A = this chain, B = another copy of it.
């Protein structure tokens, strides 16, 4: 048998896929994706050295995340993990997911294990680069949580808030894009630490959930504010100690005017800037000096060594219901494109997840 081939006796099954038509350079639209119902896959990692360490996964949940968009060449990150191409011609969409190992040539993973990491939008995936995968050891919480609260977004919130923001009890914390998967967790971690927390989001419904379910002290709909500076002055008469930045542009400019001495800005995302050819200019950076502000971009990829510590903090919070979490689960891989597009329109009602198959199946 030649290297790379799979034994003919291995069962070949149908493998529904969601593929990209082409590279994209902006927010994905449904027409950028198509469903293929005719592909098949053999449920075994092929022989051959090139598949040493590979796994064959059954994908259970796929995550819709706001960075699953096209990027301009100039906007690429500088490490391999930052250069994920989510959309490539006639290739399955790439994204985070929760999966079950069907077959493994990986020394630390065996059939039946549950994992989360970067997989593909299809029922089954042969994964050769398993660098991003974490084995799931705690299954007393919903598995879908590993796409959010216990996965990359949760870890991003944890690292960004505890490691980058250097928070102290009683501080004034502002979270933009607070209804997002990361923002809602940051806000709750800040409340659990004893901070005053205000979030902004893009609809009345989201604002209500921030206040009533996630326990933010205040929240506001940024779309209804003609003057962001005035809005922030209203919610933070004493100023902002910590800004968890997801937005950029005009919002950042308004925040800079309202920061307190020795404030910290953790730059997690700048969603307002992703689709501008020419980004909005930020004009108030002088305030970095006036208030001695530390503004720091970070990537969750630098913090995964803390994942065990993160679980030690987060699992008790979940089990004791100290953290609220809302998922917006779309059933069926074929409905994935609509779910992803809905996320970008801001119409998701919680962490956007696509359920491909259930664990027991």
- A interface residues, Cβ below 8 angstroms from B: 74-79, 82, 248, 252, 257, 260-261, 267-270, 273, 278-299, 302
Number of copies: 2
B75→A286 contact, CB < 8 A = yes
17 more contacts with CB within 8 A, not counting A78-B260, A280-B283, are A75-B290, A78-B261, A267-B285, A267-B288, A269-B289, A270-B286, A279-B283, A281-B281, A282-B283, A282-B285, A287-B297, A288-B296, A289-B299, A292-B296, A292-B298, A292-B299, A296-B296
A270→B289 contact, CB < 8 A = yes
Bound CA span A16–B284, Å:
40
| Nearest neighbor of A296 in chain B, beta-carbon distance | B294
Assuming the contacts A267-B285, A270-B285, asked whether A290 and B279 have C-beta atoms less than 8 A apart, the reply is: no
Q: A282: which B residues are within 8 A, CB to CB?
A: 281-283, 285
A297→B292 contact, CB < 8 A = yes
Assuming the contacts A291-B297, A296-B294, A297-B290, asked whether A285 and B252 have C-beta atoms less than 8 A apart, the reply is: yes
Of all A-B residue pairs in the complex, the 4 with the closest CB atoms, nearest first, are A281-B281, A288-B297, A289-B297, A279-B283
User: CB within 8 A of A286: which of B279, B289, B294, B298?
Assistant: B279
